[in-house]
Amino acid sequence: MQTSFEDFKFNKQLLNAIAEAGYSVPTEIQEKGIPPILAGQDVMGIAQTGTGKTAAFVLPLLMNLKYAQGNDPRALILSPTRELAMQIEEHIQLFSTYLDLRTIVLYGGLGPKTQKELLAKGCDIVVATPGRFLDLYLAGDINTKSLKVLVMDEADKMVDMGFISKLHRILEVIPRKRQNLLFSATMSELVRKIAGDFLAFPTVIEVTEQATPAQTVTQSLYHVPNVKTKINLLQHLFTDDEAYHRVIVFCKTKQVADSVFAFLERKYGAKNVRVIHANKGQNTRINSINAFKTGEIRFLVATDVAARGLDVSNVSHVINFDVPIVIEDYVHRIGRTGRAFSTGDAITFCNPAEEYYVAKIEKLIRQSIEVIDLPEDVFVEKTPFDERQAIAREIDSQKKKENPDFQGAFHEKKFMLKHGGKKRTAASGTRGAGKGKASSGKSKSFKKK
């Protein structure tokens, strides 16, 4: 007999939020992981992202915390990257619609002033990257004495990114008496060592779900150098309103989703487009999805979390405006089309920094995605300085992940200038990004048409 979310004895508020988020049947890791987490056990979960593991720890955590209490955080969720931290926070917002719980997300890359102000107002759950959490703790902005639960998500990525010393430092400054949850896609020796320091007689849950896209979906990929050119390509494709009659445009952040929505609204009118993400109220999301289902609107712009459980027939196209960083989300996204034996198209726009994730997606789905040349009448914009730098930094970061000894284009440039040498191809990442040059073996150059 198949398990349902009612079997976990969740309260009515949580069950309503789960139903409204479009979740009907628990995944394997939710089925195996939620009961021991609810019971207060330490849990070690071995599962890829995309198997539903975020909900597997978020749902019992929300159930156990129940309501706002005191000023200091009672749960800490550690994530290796800002993007994953934001995605976890979106899940929490989605499921805590009817709960009186306060969540704060902390990450680097921007000044800490706003984050300090939010902490001062009080919170129940903190989602954080290890570095920023430690910075704010050492500055006296976080009191850890009330922490009852520590979740370490993507432990293998934390190890790969060199967070081991920070993790041990965090373990030293939080209460010893607490529930510990550790999730990892793989179990390297270093992850085992952290698990040994971190968990006491854990319940071990292992899930291996292979992600494969629907056979009815045709997949294609455009190499596009920057955001402005992605918008130009979107406009070019949508001139064929007969073919692109019901389209979902996926974006990786709420900010990008809002920008794409604003463009489509200006171009095609407010009656033809809606946007859904975690900042939109539950009723707004439901109304937008219903309008899309009935064919009232042509375009739905969405982030991954908001589109969970979105089951719409006859979606003509899924456009990945951004390549998903959580690569398993690619399969989830393109599965929105080609449903119920219909055929559909999934088109991905990829800038030079996103090729890294495309390679991982192709490995995951065990097939190559067909690359299509940019149409000649799509105007290729010059990449602005800030975006060029961001792409170059991202490419450096990817190279460091694959090779911890890699110093980075920016580092090399600094070294050469300091020692009076020529720049060489010091900013190879910068140069490639500036000209829209791909960083992988499939590199292309972009010329203005």
Rounded mean pLDDT, 290-306: 87
B/e letters for 125-162, b = 16+ CB within 10 Å, e = fewer, are bbbbbbebbbbbbeeebbebeebbbbbbbbbbbbbbbe
The yes-or-no verdict on residue 313 having pLDDT over 90 is no
- What residues form DSSP beta bridges with 100? 67
pLDDT of 133 over the 80 cut: yes
217-371 has the same fold as 5-206:
yes
Q: Where are the domains of the chain?
A: 5-206, 217-371, 385-434
Quote the pLDDT of residue 98. 92
Write down the pTM of the prediction.
0.57
More confident residue, 212 or 392: 392
Superfamily of segment(s) 217-371:
P-loop containing nucleotide triphosphate hydrolases (3.40.50.300)
Compute the average pLDDT of residues 39-52.
Answer: 83
pLDDT at residue 348 above 50? Answer: yes
Q: Which is more confident, 388 or 28?
A: 388
Q: Which of 225, 243, 213 is nearest to 349 (CA)?
A: 225
User: Would strands 217-223 and 273-276 be described as parallel, antiparallel, or unpaired?
Assistant: unpaired
Residue 351 CA to residue 388 CA, distance in Å, equals 11
Q: What is the pLDDT of residues 203-239, one digit of tens each?
A: 999 886 555 666 778 999 999 999 999 999 999 999 9
CA distance 76 to 94: 18
The CATH superfamily of 5-206 is: P-loop containing nucleotide triphosphate hydrolases (3.40.50.300)
Tell me how far CA of residue 403 lies from CA of 161, 398, 399, 407, 408, in angstroms.
10, 9, 6, 9, 10
In tens, the pLDDT along 54-71 reads: 999 999 999 999 899 999
Using an 8 Å Cβ cutoff, are 152 and 181 in contact?
A: yes
**Comparing C-alpha atoms, which of 77, 74, 90, 52 is closest to residue 328?**
52
Mean pLDDT of 255-277: 94
Q: Is the pLDDT of residue 250 over 50?
A: yes
How far is Cα of residue 127 from the mean position of the Cα atoms in its chain? 14
Q: Poorest-confidence range of 8-17, 195-204, 437-446?
A: 437-446
Q: pLDDT band at residue 187, thresholds of 50, 70 and 90?
A: confident
